Structure 1
């Protein structure tokens, strides 16, 4: 350390690392603009001294041609980073008419020394991005090396389609990490969302996309567990310390930092920290031309991998496919990242527009073609557009999937895209083959695992669906949809205790979507029905939204001892059909539970294709698996023979668990 550089300054839960040019609070690095940290360093370097505005402008900007609003904005940022506000200032004080003063809080007799050594390799917590001077003052080379790094792009087209069904479909049950967390694997990492250090909020897509690309890059290395985007991105802006984040994600290392895209320059600050104690294993700052972005991504990943000492998978091994355009077109990549942004915002129409732009700029961009296929098929399936428009979008989606596979036969995401199209065309054999190939090619790709988890269930392959969900749990430990879907599969296999366990974990996670709560309620009701517990089943049904409540209460009433009440509940559910409140699939489930195959099949003829696809693992409908009328119905529409499904019927589940109505 330069002798003139002050030692790190610790106070309350904050530490100012002057040498590393970073502020940490509560064990978490606080993202600060370079000028903001420079102002903080100036003031904190001499606690108690009042600095005039002119002195600050001279010291930090080298001149006074800066508007007062600039300094005011930076002071606001600093107060936020320090956890205070102007009205209740503890550290940064405004001296009206003069300038600013930094005060240290009063020390207690037992307080440790305020000057705390913080070696570069053992910083107390995750480091903040190193402040970056103006681009013009540095050549495009890396500086200060301190040591020698996988959705789904979210849930891809698989998440929204099946999430959307929850609002109206009766059998969309959904999913937990083990209740006693296991120690994190030594070689495991999460890429936390890079902070957008640009003043332009419109650049958020770029920082998020770059974070996701780093996940993809790191997943190319063997022996390294890489957490997926959905779980890692839940810690955007989190105040949890590194130990807590590592525990929740089940990893030993965290990669964090910031990115700033200014003109033709990309500035990236990155740091690899040990989750257990927040110590820094590696840190770096880069200033590079934007045109060298891909090389920079590889350099960062290689540096992280070097620090973790893991090996690159050989070409013959299964890896997640690179999401960057093979031509190196930055323009195509930019369009792709914007498409991903809209994808994660669940605006699939806009996502398809940007993916179309990406493949127009680079026709050889296989990953963009795969995402274009997924976006278009989702729009076609769930946008309520006219039938002709939906058919056109589906045809375009097929062409896009075909193009992706022609360009990259080994792209797992493209095989998954084709499987989705096949299953919605009731080609269950083709869909099964494509998903098996997709999982073989991309066993660590959360998008593929999630999508094919659905497809395996839709074609009745319960064991393969469970395996996909189990592995996805390790990659996406905080992905609520997966826990609910896993619980659904466990129920369909008769494992009721496990189903309730994983459902409980799903319910403990943040539920920002009302549909998730309703799906949990339905799954609770289904488990209660399988246990013969009419009271609990009715309790869940009564918590459903009022306008959909009658069919659910009718389903719950079918196992009670009062047959007259069961008949009345069904009549009430049927009375709502004129108001479009009676879902055909749910009414069919009621009749199946009653053992009335004729009426059940009649109602299934009015169900949506999306609902029909899940019949092979629907325990209620599988009560009809041996009925000739239901077998003929499945054959007519292209579903697998119900007798071939690995899932159990509700009656089989009850028999296996020794259930009696109560």
Structure 2
């Protein structure tokens, strides 16, 4: 008995159709036009086979939806889009059809003339949908608002796609610390990449609907207009990241994608598609050209140019997002209402413009400018919840820089105000989780992270936050497991890799920290702070050559206190204490709020008093360290450092309690031991000092850091 052939599947004999110069081979899943393969989506190919098998017959719209999609909450617009793709591949015209005729509101009919020997088989059935992806190549069109709900898509040659404009933007300055705004999506890499199957040609390609939103390019004549284009891109990224069933790669800055084509980005990020756009704004008019590309073939899936008043930018953003979601997952959740609401956060265009300026300031770490812009946005629209959420984010950045109780209260109040304005915002829940974690209020932090985890926009980073809570409590294995889950949720989350590196360093696994840090840099090589972190790990591990290389790269990208301070430590290790002191002073100017550079400066001045007064440096360090440890009760290294600073200021009453407290926390054991060794030496307790030196060696502190330590060498406790 013969097996029934279904849509997209060959039966026991070959099934093919020919009309004009077109050949459709169901068995090989091939569509040829004039001998040239035409790529279409699997569901589009299935629809074509059903129409061919019932040539000349009207096939109802619901019948097609049932057979191909199972009619699972799929809108008719999905079918309209698929028919448009088929017309693109066949060279058909919807106004003067030769092959596919539309019966308005009823269905479709194949009206082409099949060759006599290629008539549809009598036993053909329908239903199953092929799984191998094939992508149509539609051509760009130019429209003015309002936008048609289901536009026709026309042919686009591969050569044109290859010659299309690429995203080019100036290298942006980025924040010294990780702005959690950038990690909203947040990546799978080697350790957790098992969900990425191997595709033909060896390139990694996503098995699920997935996308990377690239920074939008500004074509405006005004050089300061970049914030508008980049702000629209970040808004689009966040909106798509909130769509269930769609994986969105972590946001990348302009310099990370400069010159890369769709195929390169797909291999790098493990996504099936990329969205890019160019933006030109001229007074009250804006022109946006958007394109969705398939990363396996490099072909354009969909493209469109919008040109209208700036006030219509919200509708344009919503339409682009809806076209993307429809193309990738076939159905718009809640008919697209959530996307429209997310991409239309205010009715006030001037307030939205100020908001985008604030977003750009956050991206480059300018917290004060960001807060000013977000407040301007709120002046224009007092109910603009996302602007208040921006203030929440900026205040957290301030808190992390200042580490004081006042800064904590400002951040908490700003975030709670945003939460009251829109209690559904996952970004604010994530921010509050970060805030309370840093404060040491772990129970409240867990509540906010757990709630934020349900929002796809911030799910990956919420899991990272939960991992950090496990780390603080000494549950190292559980923390690493959660980092892995975060990476599974968001393909390409360099933030997760860098945070995991810190967890591994805190638990004295320097080799693993170095490898995780390298993973983060593979994804975000433009981040100066990541190069500084890698340099620090190499320095702690005793690899001075690799450390210097990474630190120099960090400062070349953007001068920063961390790289400068660690380069100064390399000078210190060679015995050039005056040069080290000069560089430590430079580090204090780059970040006056952090206590570590002041403490390092004090260390250098102990060794070379002619370069300055060590007590003054230690006084500055102690003041800032006290402020920080009053908030962060669980930072073992900071507590040990405070004990060292107070010892040098002859404020020794509580020093031994601080050292014991630092040891009892059980994290950063090597560095705590090294600091305590210095303190015990200064207190004249050689036995405890020697014990701490051995503990430091046993917990991964490199010989270079111990044996070049001036205090330990002078006391005969370091190897000469």
Q: TM-score range by the shorter chain?
A: 0.5 to 0.7
The secondary structure found in structure 2 opposite 1:229 is coil
- Report Cα offsets for 1:527-580 as digits up to 9, x if no partner: x2xxxxx5x3697479978984698469989xxxxxxxxxx9999999999999
Query: Residue 57 of structure 1 corresponds to which residue in structure 2?
Result: none
How many Å apart are 1:369 and its aligned residue? 0.9
Kept in 2, the 8 Å contact 1:435–1:455? The answer is no
The secondary structure found in structure 1 opposite 2:516 is helix
- Is 1:342 paired with 2:326? no
Q: Superposed, which structure 2 residues align to 1:172-571 within 5 Å?
A: 177-178=189-190, 182=196, 183-186=204-207, 187-230=209-252, 233-234=254-255, 238-309=258-329, 324=343, 326-379=345-398, 382=401, 391=406, 395-422=409-436, 427-441=441-455, 444=458, 466=480, 469-470=483-484, 473=487, 482-506=496-520, 508=522, 511-512=525-526, 515-526=529-540, 528=541, 536=543, 540=547, 548=565, 552=569
| Cα distance in 2 between the residues matched to 1:178 and 1:432 | 28
How many Å apart are 1:246 and its aligned residue? 1.0
| Cα distance in 2 between the residues matched to 1:464 and 1:322 | 37
| Cα distance in 1 between the residues matched to 2:388 and 2:415 | 6
In structure 1, runs of 5+ residues without a counterpart are 1-118, 133-137, 148-158, 165-174, 529-533, 558-567, 591-599
The secondary structure found in structure 2 opposite 1:271 is strand
| Cα distance in 2 between the residues matched to 1:644 and 1:229 | 35
| Cα distance in 2 between the residues matched to 1:438 and 1:429 | 14
| Cα distance in 1 between the residues matched to 2:298 and 2:533 | 38
| Cα distance in 2 between the residues matched to 1:203 and 1:576 | 37
| Cα distance in 2 between the residues matched to 1:204 and 1:658 | 45
Kept in 2, the 8 Å contact 1:372–1:400? The answer is yes
Kept in 1, the 8 Å contact 2:175–2:363? The answer is no
Q: Which moved more, 1:493-502 or 1:572-581?
A: 572-581
Alpha-carbon RMSD across the aligned residues, in angstroms, is 5.4
1:398–1:495 CA distance, 2 compared to 1 (3 A): closer
The secondary structure found in structure 2 opposite 1:302 is helix
1:367–1:577 CA distance, 2 compared to 1 (3 A): closer
1:326–1:653 CA distance, 2 compared to 1 (3 A): same
Which structure has more relative contact order (CA 8 Å, sep 6+)? It is: 1
Query: Residue 54 of structure 1 corresponds to which residue in structure 2?
Result: none
- Report Cα offsets for 1:210-241 as digits up to 9, x if no partner: 2222212222322211012236x4455x3333
1:543–1:184 CA distance, 2 compared to 1 (3 A): closer
How many Å apart are 1:284 and its aligned residue? 2.8
Kept in 2, the 8 Å contact 1:217–1:322? The answer is no
Q: Superposed, which structure 2 residues align to 1:106-125 within 5 Å?
A: 121-122=136-137
- Is 1:146 paired with 2:153? yes
Q: Which moved more, 1:400-409 or 1:649-658?
A: 649-658
Kept in 2, the 8 Å contact 1:588–1:604? The answer is no
1:303–1:440 CA distance, 2 compared to 1 (3 A): closer
1:614–1:246 CA distance, 2 compared to 1 (3 A): farther
How many Å apart are 1:510 and its aligned residue? 6.4
Structure with the greater alpha carbon radius of gyration:
2
How many Å apart are 1:189 and its aligned residue? 0.6
1:543–1:242 CA distance, 2 compared to 1 (3 A): closer
Of residues 138, 159, 162, the one that matches 2:177 is 162
How many Å apart are 1:404 and its aligned residue? 0.8
- Is 1:607 paired with 2:629? no
Kept in 2, the 8 Å contact 1:418–1:434? The answer is yes
How many Å apart are 1:624 and its aligned residue? 13
